Amino acid sequence: MGALDEAVRSFRRAAADLADLLAPVACAGCGGDGGPLCGGCAPRLAAAPRSTHVGGLTVWSGLEYSGEAARVIRALKDGSPALARIVAPALAAALSACAREREGSVALVAVPVPERARSLRTRGYRVVERVMRAAGVRPRRLLRLTRQTADQRGLDRRERAVNQALSMRAAGVAGRRVIVVDDVITTGATLREAARAVAAAGGEVVAAATIAATPRRRADRGDTRSFRA
């Protein structure tokens, strides 16, 4: 079934890419002409990395998850994989900020959070890995889900923490320094669980990077920093 599942996912990826090419080119940010991102929306997706903290973990995010940026990311997650290249610069900037803080340390490994099986079957592609590759970063698939979690949309902070608790396992990370990569940070529950799993397997998460952060997270002025390359 493994080979068959991968063949099905490959077909869905190809179908999604073809659909993107054949569909009318509307801007993913506003729905107007001039897509996939019009001249009016493009400046609103310019990378502006800021950091926040989840426990003791520094998390860098390239965009605020609101307005046009939120619409583009939702479209990317809802079946438009070609949009990965639109948000790739934001993730690249966040990863650059993570690496800049760790200059001179041993090589860092970029590890995406694992996709839920249902999401992967529906989309046919892994969102975070797609954006990482568009950003020129090799994703290392060293985290796995030990159980299937619920869709986090609509869950509050406590429900997200319960949903993610003990849901991941890491392998191949012993003695390695890891940057965990996700699409959006809201409460930080997913990143906390990823850091726990890596530590349990003998590795260390030194930072995390996301494409975007929700406004509440980025507005926490006492816990954020901006980054200029």
Query: pLDDT, tens digit, for every residue of 64-95?
Result: 999 999 999 999 999 899 999 999 999 999 99
Contacts of 130 (CB under 8 A, 6+ apart): 76, 81, 84
**pLDDT at residue 139 above 70?**
yes
d(CA 173, CA 37): 38
- Most confident range, picked from 148-157, 185-194, 211-220: 185-194
Separation CA 84–CA 129 (nearest Å): 9
Question: What tokens does 201 get?
Answer: 């397997």
CA angle 52, 111, 185 (to 5 degrees): 30
CATH number of domain containing 161: 3.40.50
**In this structure, are strands 108-112 and 177-185 parallel, antiparallel, or unpaired?**
parallel
Domain that holds residue 27: 2-226
pLDDT in tens, 209-229: 999 999 876 555 434 455 443
pLDDT of residue 208: 97
Please count the structural domains in the chain.
Answer: 1
Looking up tokens 């090589």 gives 107
How far is residue 9 from each of residues 14, 23, 85, 123, 145, measured CA to CA in Å?
A: 9, 21, 20, 8, 18
Q: What ranges make up the beta strands (E) of 1-83?
A: 50-54, 57-64
